[in-house]
Each structure stands twice: as C-alpha cells, then as structure tokens.
Amino acid sequence: MVRLWPIALAIAIALSRSTVDCLTAEERTAFSKVFKYYHRSVRPSSTHNYVKFNENATSFRLSTELTLLSSAIDTQGYLTVDWNLALRYFDERLEMRMAAEPIVVPEEFPPWTPVVAVVPSTRTTNSVILRSTTGEITMELRMQTRQLCVRNDWIFPFGKRTCQFEVFLDESDLLFDVRSFRDLREDRQVSVSFDVPSTARLYLAFASPGEMAHFLLVSFLPSALIVVAVIAAQARRRRDRLLVSLGAVCAIVFMHNAQTSNVKPSLSLLDIWLFGCFLMAVVLLIINLIYRFQRRRWHSSSSKDNSIRENLENHVLVEQVNVSRVETRLLSNLIKSNTLCLAVVIPAVYYCIFIVLYFILLIASGAFS
C-alpha cells in the first residue's frame, strides 16, 4: 500500500522552497519597507501571544505541534529519530496585507524567533513561514536526533531501553502550548510519550521493547528443557545419567558464554537463571559419581562374602545363606525402585521451587512493569 504522507510532505517542502525562490517584486518591496524599521531583538507585543496566569505572572505562549516521522534503533542501542517541531505565534509588525497564501521568509529578512535548544545535540534545519494578512509566524524545525538508549542491567533481558530528548527555550517566560502530537511512523515498536514539566521545557521519552522474546527462545526455554532431561535421565542406567548430566553442564556453560558475550559484565536475571540450571545439573552429576563409587565398593565387598559362603560345609548354613540372599535381592529391588523414584521426584521438586523463587524475584525487581 502506498503511503501518501511522504508524498504530501515532499510536495509541501518543494512548494515552500519554490516560494522562497519566487518572491515577486511587490513582496520583496514590502519586506524591505517593513524590515527597514524592524528590530529582531524586540519581542512581538501582540495580545494573542500572551497568557495571563495572575496579576504578576504573564507568559509568551508558543502554539506547539509535534510530528514524529521515523524512529529506528540499532543493535548497539542507538536510537535515531526524525521529527518536526512547529512553533506558532503572532508578530503584528509583519502584517503587510499582501497575498493570502503563506510566504517563507527569506534569510535576508530575519524576524524575531525564539531560541530553541535540544539535548542531546541535533542536526536541525529551520524555516519561518509568514501569513502576511494576520502576521502569524510558523517556525518549523526539522530535526534528526541520535542517542544511546540505556537499560537496567540487573533486569536484563526483561527491561526496556529508554532514552529522553529535552527541548527547552532560552527565556523562562516562554510557554510551550502543545496543541497536537502526530505520529507518522511506519514502525511503532518504539513507544513514545511527551511531557511538559515546566513552561519552557518539553520532554520526549522513548522506550524500545526488551529482548525478552528472543532470550526466552534461545536461553530460558532450552536451559529448562536441558534440566528436565537431566532429571528424567535419573531413571535410566548409571552410564546414561552420567553422560546426560555431563552434557547438560557443558551445554549450559556454552549457552551462557554465547548469550552474554555482548552484554556488560554485571550480574543480571539471565545469569541467575542459567546459574540455577547449571547448579542443578552439577549437583546431579556429583551425586551420580558418588553413587557409582559406592556401588564399586559394595560389589567388592559382596564378592568377598560370596567366597566365604562357598567355603561353608554345613548344608543348613548354606540353605540359610540362600534364603537370606533371596530376601536381600527382593529388598534391594524394592530399595532400587524407591531410590529411582526419589531420584526423579526430589530434583523435580527442587527445580520447581527454584522456578517459583525466580518468578518472585522477577516480580520484586519490576521486570514486568
């Protein structure tokens, strides 16, 4: 679908430039007469410009229009914004009763204009448009601002990148009167809000979406599945448990190094999650290693007992040994089944407790605000 506003904006700029280059002789003569006695340092005194709050407080009102044209944030966190700021006021000294259409004031006839500063520094091009029948002046500033958006490293990757632009006037009695705010951006993933905390200051706050969706797919969900696989492997043979636990430890370490290589070396919620998964896999690996060592000792001691039983000459004692061996085997199978059940259930319970505590930490840190 074809966007109409860029075409309309280009036509308007072309028409405004053509009016600058196509002043008639009558218009230039009128400008010369007016600016012969015009003092740029004198502020207009039209009553339409002033707002009286009380008997001792009066401010010069600037009707303000904000227009956002585009915004883009790169991988390094730098936000580039193209936006327009239009300030309207009346100058009774420039009522010339000429043509009804707006005229772009040439640079050789500079009228009084408010001094506008933008923080951070901005590439600015401005133009002054005059309606000669009423003396209404529109000061248009076309700006492009680039700033590094910051974020809270502790709640990474749940937090948003935020940055703020400040527009202020050089005189304290000037007043921003925001009449309209238009958002013409095609991509609105970066949210924006504006605030006028004082009469001569205007703030534009931008917030970009966090990387939560990305890291949910590449870090949180894979690491959780790895731990679940380690817990499920506890019901398998010892060799399988050792291999799965060792592979899980290596995978989590590799995942942490890959995902945090471009992040500042500070503790974050992502580090805590990966450390919890890593600790769970390491503990299960250590338990399996200790259990395997104890099983070797038990097999060596049982082989000695078997040699002693073979040397028994009493048939009654041999029968008692056989009965005790069957009972021991049944008891060992029962203990083995209960041990496997506990080996799966207990780590699963501890991992669920860790997940609950992690969500409590997320809420307490304001990660979802």
Which tens digits make up the pLDDT trace of 275-303? 999 999 898 888 878 776 555 554 454 55
Q: Which amino acid is at 332?
A: S
CA separation for the pair 155, 267 (Å, rounded): 9
Q: What percent of the chain has pLDDT over 70?
A: 75
**Per-residue confidence at 12, pLDDT binned at 50, 70, 90?**
low
Q: What is the pLDDT of residue 17?
A: 44
Which ranges of 233-314 does DSSP label H, i.e. alpha helix?
Answer: 238-259, 269-310
Banded model confidence at residue 313, pLDDT cuts 50, 70, 90: very low
Q: What is the pLDDT of residue 354?
A: 92
CATH number of the structural domain 212-365:
1.20.58.390
Over residues 150-156, mean pLDDT: 83
Domain boundaries, the chain: 5-208, 212-365
Query: Which residues 6+ apart lie within 8 Å of 335 measured at CB?
Result: none
Mean pLDDT (the chain, rounded): 77
Which is the CATH superfamily of the domain at 5-208? Neurotransmitter-gated ion-channel ligand-binding domain (2.70.170.10)
DSSP 301-346: HHHHHHHHHHT---HHHHHHHHHHHHHHHHHHHHHHHHHHHHHHHH
Q: Are 263 and 274 in contact (CB under 8 A)?
A: no
Q: Is 198 left (phi over 0), alpha (psi -120 to 50) or beta?
A: beta
Element (H, E) at 10: helix 5-21
Does residue 58 contact residue 96 with C-beta atoms inside 8 Å? no
> What is the distance between the alpha carbons of residues 17 and 125, in angstroms, rounded to a whole number?
13
> How do 103-104 and 191-198 pair as beta strands?
unpaired
H-run or E-run covering 196: strand 191-198
Question: Looking at residue 173, what is its pLDDT?
Answer: 78
Asked if residue 134 has pLDDT above 60, the reply is yes
Tell whether the model's pLDDT for residue 187 goes beyond 90.
no
- Per-residue model confidence (pLDDT) at position 339: 54
Fold equal for 5-208 and 212-365: no
> Which residues, including other chains, have CB under 8 Å from residue 125's CB and lie 6 or more apart?
141, 142
Say yes or no to pLDDT of 327 above 50: no
Encoding tokens for residue 6?
Answer: 């860029």
SS (H, E, C) 87-103: EEEECHHHCCCCCCCCE
Closest listed residue to residue 61, CA positions, set 46, 77, 74, 76: 46
**pLDDT band at 148, cuts 50/70/90?**
confident
Residue 61 has pLDDT above 80, yes or no: yes
- Predicted pLDDT at 304: 47
Q: Which stretch of 16-30, 64-78, 271-285 has the lowest confidence by average pLDDT?
A: 16-30
What is the DSSP secondary structure assignment for residue 160, as one 8-state letter?
Answer: P
- From residue 353, give the alpha-carbon distance in Å to each of 8, 236, 269, 350: 59, 24, 17, 5
Residue that is written with structure tokens 């203990």 in the block: 335
- How large is the average pLDDT for residues 186-192? 76
Distance of CA 118 to the CA centre of its chain: 23
pLDDT bracket for residue 224 (50, 70, 90): very high
- Is the pLDDT assigned to residue 221 strictly greater than 50? yes
Residue 197 reports pLDDT greater than 60: yes
pLDDT at 226 (0 to 100): 92
pLDDT per residue as tens digits for the range 344-361: 788 888 889 999 999 999
Which DSSP string corresponds to 142-172? EEEEEEE-B--GGGTTTSPEEEEEEEEESST
